[in-house]
Amino acid sequence: MAVYQDKAKERIKKNVAKVRSHCNKGKKIHMGEADTRAIVREVLIDCLGWDEFEDVTQEECIKGGYCDYLIRYEGKPYAVVEVKKVSGGLTQDHMRQAKHYAQDKGLDWIILTNGDEWEVYNLYYRKKRGENPEPLTFHLFTTSFTDTENVKPSERIEMLYLLSKEARRKDELAVYHGMLKALSPQELTKRIMQKDVIDRLRISIKNDIGYRIDNDELAFRIAEIIKDEAIPSNISYYIKRLSEPPKRN
């Protein structure tokens, strides 16, 4: 691990208790959004290392409203930060609002927070033939300053580090997103349904128990095992490809 990474994580670790205290106090007095922004700004600057004047813009004007904070890296917009009151939870309506701001700014990263909980999303677009690309969000992680039962201290620091200015140097948030996406149920299902994988399974079954099964039947049996939410909507496309002859170079 590089020295700058160690220093960033140590800085985050030193500030966790202070932020946790502020969040707990805010919940007790039913702190509103305006005061919660002060907690969030404290996290962005003191914990995550963003420069107060160069990197963090407050209440950036966006078509249809204002986002609470816009994070810039080397002068270019990097992430939108939408803040809600620390005494309340985060909802899908809040997410849609933050998504709208990110779309308008052409940003990839959305941070939704109430000072205590920090939810991080990637904004991407799914192309549809004859239609405008559909904006979708991919949830990377949620961490919390006050939840000491479900969030391990080391995990909290690692997740917060991904939001730091230091992590942006080598696009570590994007790397983490790529890893999560590659290991998602949908992506793994696509790879399991590749012809070479099905071939290996079919041969293994034949060698182990002497039962002959064709690729189509095996693919359908696998699809029955995999949970419904993991099966891509175009699963029939992958099964159909199993019966197609290989393309010649």
Same domain assignment for residues 112 and 145 = yes
Q: Are 113 and 163 in contact (CB under 8 A)?
A: no
Phi first, then psi, for residue 170 (nearest 5°) are: -115, 25
What angle is formed at CA 23 by the lines to CA 22 and CA 26, rounded to 5 degrees? 85
Same domain assignment for residues 18 and 138 = yes
CATH of the domain at 65: 3.90.1570
Count of structural domains within the chain: 2
For residue 187, give the DSSP letter. Answer: H
Same domain assignment for residues 235 and 126 = no
81-128 pLDDT, tens digit each: 999 999 999 999 999 999 999 998 899 999 999 999 999 999 999 887
Rounded CA gap, 143 and 163, in Å? Answer: 11
Same domain assignment for residues 232 and 139 = no
Residue 247 lies in a domain: no
Same domain assignment for residues 156 and 189 = no
Same domain assignment for residues 212 and 108 = no
Residue 202 lies in a domain: yes
Residues comprising the chain, all counted? 249
Same domain assignment for residues 161 and 105 = yes
Residue 59 lies in a domain: yes
Same domain assignment for residues 148 and 30 = yes
Measured CA distances, 99 to 86, 108, 165, 198 (Å) = 20, 10, 22, 39
- Residue 218's H or E segment, with its range, is helix 215-225
| Joined tokens for residue 123 | 């904004």
Q: Are 157 and 9 in contact (CB under 8 A)?
A: yes
pLDDT at 165: 98
Q: Are 49 and 165 in contact (CB under 8 A)?
A: yes
pLDDT at 61: 61
Residue 23 lies in a domain: yes
3-56 pLDDT, tens digit each: 999 999 999 999 999 999 999 999 999 999 999 999 999 999 999 999 999 999
Same domain assignment for residues 97 and 220 = no
Residue 143 lies in a domain: yes
172-223 pLDDT, tens digit each: 999 999 999 998 888 888 888 888 999 999 999 999 988 888 888 888 888 8
Rounded CA gap, 8 and 20, in Å? Answer: 18
The residue range of the domain holding 163 is: 3-169
Same domain assignment for residues 54 and 160 = yes
pLDDT at 40: 98
